[in-house]
A and B are shown apart, each in its own frame.
Chain A
Amino acid sequence: MLKKCASRIYLFLMFAFLYLPILVLIVLSFNDSRSKVKWGGFTFKWYTGCFQDEKIMAAFVTTLQITFLSAIISTLIGTLAAIGIAAMKRKGQAIFLGATNIPLLNADIVTGISMMLLFVKFMDLGFVTVLIAHITFSIPYVILNVLPRLKQANISTYEAALDLGASPLYAFYKVTWPEIRPGVLSGFMMAVTMSLDDFSITYFTKGAGVNTLSTMLYTELRKGIKPELYALSTILFFAVLLLLLIGNVRPAKRSSERFDK
C-alpha cells in the first residue's frame, strides 16, 4: 500500500515536471498583460496577433512545406532503397547500412556544418538546401522502419505471384506492399516528427531569408519573448495532441516503435 502510494506520488511529480512549463505557456497565452507574472484579464489578442505576425506566419508556412516535402521524398527514396538493400548480399548490405548510420550517429551540429560547407560551394543557402538536409537526415529513419518488414515478409509469396503470371509491379502492389505498408507509414511519421523538431541542421543550412519555426523562435528568444509566441505554443501543442489522438488509436504502439525497430 505504501509502495503504491509512493509510486502514485512519483508519477504525479514527474507529470508536473513535464507539464507545468507547458501549462504556464498556455495560461499566459490568454493573459491580457505583457507581464509574465501579473494576470491582466482574459484575452484572445495574442492569438489574433500571432496570425497577423508576418514573421511567425512565414516561418509556419515554410515549416509545413519543408516537413511534408522532405517526408514524402525521403519516404520514396528510403522505401526504394530498403527494397534494393533487401536484395543485396551481406557485404553490400553492410556498406549501405553503415552509410545509413552516419547521419543517425553524428551530432546534429556536425551534420549541419558539413552540409553547409558543401552547399556554399555550389549554391546559395535557402529553401532548397534546408529541404535537401531534411531529406538526408530523414531517409535513415524510413529505411530502418521498412527494412525489418521486408525481412519478415516471405519472399516465396512474391515469387509465387510471378510464377502465376503477375507482372513484377502488380505482384509488388498485391503481395509485398501490404506487408511493408505499416513500416512505410511509421517511417513517414518519424520523418515528419524529426523534420518538425529539427533545429541545429536547419540553422546551419538555411541561409539568410528562410526561417522554420525552430530557427525563427531561436532568433526571437535571443531578443526577448513576445507574448504572441505563447499563443503559438498553445496552438501547436493542441494541434499535435489532436493529430496524435486522431492518428493513433493505439498511441503507445507508435511511440514505442520510435526506438524499437
Chain B
Amino acid sequence: MSKFKQQFLSGPYLIWIIGFILLPMAMIIYYAFTGSDGTPTLQYIAAIADETNRKALGLSLWLGVICTVICLVLAYPLAMILSNMHIKNQSFVVFIFMLPMWMNFMLRILAWKLLLSKNGVINSVLTGMGLSRINIINTPAAVVLGMVYDFFPFMLLPIYNALTRIREDWIEAAADLGAGKITIFFKIILPLSLSGIISGIVMVFVPSLTSFAISQVLGGGHVLLIGNVIEQDFMQGMQWNAGSGLSFVLMIFVIASMALVNSFDKEGEGTVIC
C-alpha cells in the first residue's frame, strides 16, 4: 500500500473530527455570541461580570489553586519516597497508591459524603473520643477535600514518572563533586522533575476549576462554582445562550492557565499528554 493510500485510513477519524469535535465547538461559540432570537450579541460573554458569575468564577479559581497546591505538597514527598524505595516490589507499592484512581469517581465522592456528614463517621469518632465535632460538609473546605482526594493520583503519577527517570549516577556525580543534599535537591532533582510537576499541576487544576459534581454533592448546593452556574443554565433554566457564553469564558480561562503553567516549562515537554 502506498503512503498516499495509507493516509486514507484516517478518513473515518476525519469525519469524526469534523462531526463531533469541530461542529460542537462551533455550536457552543455560535450560542455564546448570539441572542435567543439569533442576533449577534456580546451580552452573554459580558455576563461573566455579573456579581453571581464573577463570584462563582473567583471561588472556582481560588479552590482550584488551593486544591492544586495541597495535591502538590502531598504528592511530591510521596513520589520521592516511592521512587527511592529499593525493594523488590516497588511496582506493586506504586500500584497500591494508584488503585483508588480506578474506583468510580462518584463512589469516591460518596465515601467522603459519608465520612463528613453531620452525623457521619468522622464526627461520631470525634464525639466518641470526647472531642468537638467538625462541621465542614456543605462548605468549600469539604469541596476542596473531595477534589484533593479525587485528583491526587493525577499529581502523583507524572511526578513519580519524572523522578524515576532521574539516573542515580547524576546524583552520585553531584555528591562526588561536593554538593550537599539540599543543593542536590534544588539543582538536580527539582529541575529534572519540573516537567512532571507541570503536567501534574495542569491535570489537577483544570478539572478542579471546571468541576460541578463535587461541589454539588459535598457542597450541598451552598458552594456555587462556575461549573454549577453553567450546569444550572443548561439543565434547569434552559438558558443555552447564557450557559454557552459562560462555557466560552471558562474555555478561555482553561487555555490561559495552561499557557501560563506551560511557560514555566522551558524544555516544553510538560504538556498534558506528552
Contact = CB atoms under 8 A, between A and B. Distances in A.
B91 A252 contact: yes
Closest 8 CB pairs of A and B: A84-B10, A252-B91, A81-B13, A21-B111, A114-B24, A107-B210, A251-B95, A84-B9
Contact of A107 (B23, B120, B207, B217): B207
17 contacts: A25-B111, A36-B120, A83-B9, A87-B6, A107-B209, A109-B211, A113-B247, A114-B27, A114-B28, A118-B23, A135-B16, A193-B102, A213-B104, A240-B103, A244-B102, A252-B91, A255-B94
Given A11-B78, A260-B161, A115 B24 contact: yes
| Contact residues on A (Cβ < 8 Å of other chain), bracket | 35 or more
A222 interface: yes
Contacts of A106: 251, 254
Contacts of A111: 24
Interface residues of B, number: 91
Interface of A: 7, 10-11, 14-15, 17-22, 24-25, 28, 36-37, 77-78, 80-88, 92, 96, 99-111, 113-118, 121, 132-133, 135-136, 139-140, 143-144, 168, 193, 196-200, 203-204, 213-214, 217-218, 221-222, 225, 229, 232-233, 236-237, 240-241, 244, 248, 250-253, 255-256, 258-261
Contact of B90 (A86, A107, A244, A252): A252
Interface of B: 1, 3-4, 6-14, 16-17, 20-25, 27-28, 31, 74, 77-78, 81, 84, 90-92, 94-100, 102-115, 117, 119-121, 124, 149, 152, 157-158, 160-161, 164, 199, 203, 206-207, 209-213, 216-217, 227, 230-231, 234, 240, 243-244, 247, 250-251, 254-255, 258, 272-274
Q: Give the most central of A118, A204, A213: most B CB within 10 Å.
A: A118
Contacts of A17: 149
Please report whether the interface of chain A is mostly helix, strand, loop or mixed according to DSSP: helix
A77 B13 contact: yes
Contact of A214 (B22, B100, B104): B104
A239 to B, nearest CB: 10
B95 A259 contact: no
A113 B102 contact: no
A132 B155 CA distance: 29
B124 A37 contact: yes
A107 B104 contact: no
Nearest to A236: B104
B100 A200 contact: no
